[in-house]
Chain A
Amino acid sequence: MIGTGASRRAFIAGTTAMAAGSLGLPSIGGAQAKPVKVGLIHPVTGFVAYNGQQSRLGATMAIEDLNRAGGVKSMGGAKLEAVLGDSQSKVEVGVSEVEKMNEAGVAAYVGCFQSPVGIAATQAAAKYNTPFLIDVGASDLLVKRGLKNVFRMKPGFGRCVDDGIAALGALNKGAGGGAKTAVIVHESGEFGTGTAKLLAGKLPSIGIEAKELIAHDNPTRNFDNIALRIRSLAPHIVMMSNYGNEYMLLARTLFQQKVDLMGMFSVLGGGFNYKFVKEMADASQYMMDTNHWFNPLSASAQALKKRVEAGGALFTFEVYLSYTSVALLADALERAGSADKEKLIDALGKSTFKADLMPYGPTKFVDGQNEGGLPAVMQSLKGEIEVVAPAQFASAKAVFPRPKFN
């Protein structure tokens, strides 16, 4: 090099600068905090693909928002990075995704929508002591196995049934106690069966007898026979606990067959969402559901709703539950100041996170279940979903009993 004409001084200056540069680069790189990987496991294909895709939408939006706001500040602005997985509604695939994501180095998992997949996936994650935030799964089994790594922000079906029954009792009492009998229609899996059994056990406490529990498969594409059975039993109320498509089909069939009821009241009715209420305004009119709902009085919830709708999607419960679960995780990371799993589990366990989108109090986890979670009672009125209970979040007054068909 010296022989090429460059002076000795220039050569030394050049190599010194290069050395400084090469030493300097890692230190600049080091300033960029390592991203925190979050495993998102949802059924984005299969019979509940829509729900899974909605959950993925909510969770990825939360990650984008948190990164835009500067990442995890206590970790030097570390960004969250989504690791995407598809459970395909299959237990073994869900577990396989857990194993794969563990090797990808995820700090926590968020998922899985279906309770059976969640039960197996959380157990697989427990082997690695990795926190698992249940965003949608309703079964109380998810949080009743003594696993230290499982956290669920939303109320499970036990709490939803309790609050739903209380609300129905108050409505019935307010209307003169005319409703005496009910028929419960539920999907035949763990979520629907568990909810239906709890409902049947608690209905007598408000003076209503469960005449029959009718289970149906997933998927079921024709509810004519079940509607005929309901008509023959002539209950005052029909209660439903099922996934989206079946919920909507049953409602439409009962509407088409003009089955007169005092009310249709679901607990965790998977189809009670904007899609149903907007597209089948007639069939859904006066239907009520006890479920997870965003706080209608929250400005940030309304802003997120607008953004989701502007993107051509619906603001279904999966979106804001998954969004909120990621926000809870980010809050725990902030407080833990580390993605260390032990510290993260500890931070989640001690969390007093106030979910701005949800009508929840501060989180208080008991065996992984957030005791501060609160279900809402909603009613479809003129193509809109209105919150009718609890009173502090209500946006309308409930119509009960519903008007009869002419």
Chain B
Amino acid sequence: MPRRAAIWCALGLGAAVVYPLLFGGPAPLLWRSSYALNVAFLILFAAFIGQSWNVAGGFAGQTSFGHVVFFGTGAYVSTILHVTWGWNPWAAWPMAAAAGAIVGWLIATLSFRAGLRGSYFALITLAFAEAFRILANSAPFTRGGLGMLITADPRAANFQFRDPVWFYYVALALCVASLALAWWLTRSRFGARLVAIRENEDAARALGIDVFREKVRALTLSGAMCAAGGTVYAQKYLYIDPSIAFGVDKSVEMLLVSMIGGAGTVFGPLIGATALHLVGEVTRDLGNMVPGVKNAQPLALIVYGVILIAIVRYLPDGLMSLFRRARRRGGGA
């Protein structure tokens, strides 16, 4: 990593570690704000699950519309192990990640063996997510549409925290780990093979890359990451049902944060998650502030949509391309 980038990363990490001290802990440096911590959690969490999509969709070019299938698998596996079988949620967490990996491997093996590519692969992942949602809706071990409630027992040993700062740190740790993984992908042979497949699958095969194996690996890794996120979600909100765990909006969020930030880049999902959540929070507040209009929330959604369209129209490579342009300009000067 170049020296300047390393300094920026260290500064960013330092700021992220210190951030909760401004708003949380026994003596907040600014003021006590669970809301500020919650928004930061949501950004880091979205960045993490977005990065899981980025591994398969951004680096390997295997665009998935149904990544929530891994998220829901993780949420349900850990919750079932915890609620039904009495496992400690910390112990259930790696099992959830393993289940996500297995589902990723299975979907990848079936899809890529059948030669599905591009939009066909995107649609089959959506179909898998829907199938899992219907399964969760009808299976007795998931309690169907009734959903699964995790008893509130806020103890760290129980993967529940009284102080929101700890969920923030869990999300931060996951996000940093996922950034490190993405950085490793940009440097490793495995990552190079994935990028080669993304750029031209046939050419990659001609170069001797085992395309099938690498794509399966990418989706397996991606599935494990996303499933780990599912467990964190279930433990934070203590309730899941088929629509929450396998709903299409989570897939869209993962895809969006990655695309808006910059798919196939290390920091794209983090930048995208930050932009989307901050814009979302601001427009939601604006919706309550339009003078003379009692309910301007739909208007706020329109503003949100217009901002998204503008980003996609003028920055097709995502917000990261702004940094690249600035760097190029700096280099040229």
State the Cβ distance, A98 to closest chain B Cβ, in Å.
9
A190 touches B (CB below 8 Å):
yes
B239 touches A119 (CB 8 A): yes
A145 and B34 in contact, given A44-B295, A91-B239, A92-B237 (Cβ under 8 angstroms): no
B284 touches A (CB below 8 Å):
yes
Bound together, the chains give a CA A57 to CA B198 distance in angstroms of 51
List which A230-247 residues lie within 8 A (CB) of chain B.
none
Bound together, the chains give a CA A91 to CA B243 distance in angstroms of 11
A116 touches B147 (CB 8 A): yes
Bound together, the chains give a CA A86 to CA B296 distance in angstroms of 11
Bound together, the chains give a CA A357 to CA B137 distance in angstroms of 37
Bound together, the chains give a CA A123 to CA B138 distance in angstroms of 27
State the Cβ distance, A218 to closest chain B Cβ, in Å.
7
A141 touches B (CB below 8 Å):
yes
Contact of B152 among A45, A91, A145, A218 (CB under 8 A): A145
Q: Which residues on the B side are within 8 Å of A116 (C-beta)? A: 147, 239, 241, 243-244
B211 touches A (CB below 8 Å):
no
Bound together, the chains give a CA A194 to CA B284 distance in angstroms of 32
- B interface residues, how many (CB within 8 angstroms): 35
B138 touches A45 (CB 8 A): no
Convert B281-312 into 0s and 1s, putting 1 for each residue whose CB lies closer than 8 angstroms to a CB of A: 10010011000001101101100000000000
B84 touches A (CB below 8 Å):
no
Q: Which residues on the A side are within 8 Å of B34 (C-beta)? A: 99, 102-103, 127
List which B1-56 residues lie within 8 A (CB) of chain A.
33-35, 38-39, 42
In the complex, number of A-B residue pairs with CB atoms less than 8 Å apart = 95
- Please report A residues at the B interface, Cβ cutoff 8 Å: 44-45, 49, 53, 56-57, 60, 84-86, 88, 90-93, 95-96, 99-100, 102-103, 116, 119-120, 123, 126-127, 141, 145, 147, 186-190, 192-194, 197, 215, 218
A84 touches B288 (CB 8 A): yes
B242 touches A (CB below 8 Å):
yes
Bound together, the chains give a CA A187 to CA B145 distance in angstroms of 9
B176 touches A (CB below 8 Å):
no
Bound together, the chains give a CA A189 to CA B294 distance in angstroms of 30
Contact of A60 among B138, B147, B162, B294 (CB under 8 A): B294
Q: A45-B298, A96-B281 are in contact. List 19 more A-B contacts (CB 8 A).
A: A44-B298, A49-B297, A53-B295, A86-B297, A96-B35, A103-B35, A116-B147, A120-B237, A123-B152, A123-B238, A145-B152, A187-B145, A188-B137, A188-B145, A189-B147, A193-B144, A215-B137, A215-B144, A215-B145
A126 touches B152 (CB 8 A): yes
Q: Which residues on the B side are within 8 Å of A91 (C-beta)? A: 237, 239, 244
B204 touches A (CB below 8 Å):
no
| Chain A to chain B contacts (Cβ below 8 Å), 5 pairs | A44-B297, A88-B284, A145-B149, A189-B243, A194-B146
B202 touches A (CB below 8 Å):
no
With CB as the reference atom, state the residue of chain B lying closest to A128.
B34
With CB as the reference atom, state the residue of chain A lying closest to B144.
A193
State the Cβ distance, B202 to closest chain A Cβ, in Å.
39
A56 touches B162 (CB 8 A): no
With CB as the reference atom, state the residue of chain A lying closest to B154.
A127
With CB as the reference atom, state the residue of chain B lying closest to A45.
B297
Convert B136-152 into 0s and 1s, putting 1 for each residue whose CB lies closer than 8 angstroms to a CB of A: 01100000111101011
B249 touches A (CB below 8 Å):
yes
Q: Which residues on the B side are within 8 Å of A197 (C-beta)? A: 146
Q: Which residues on the A side are within 8 Å of B281 (C-beta)? A: 96
Please list the 5 inter-chain residue pairs (A to B) with the smallest Cβ-Cβ separation, ordered nearest first: A193-B145, A99-B35, A84-B288, A188-B145, A44-B297
State the Cβ distance, B291 to closest chain A Cβ, in Å.
14
Contact of B145 among A86, A90, A189 (CB under 8 A): A189
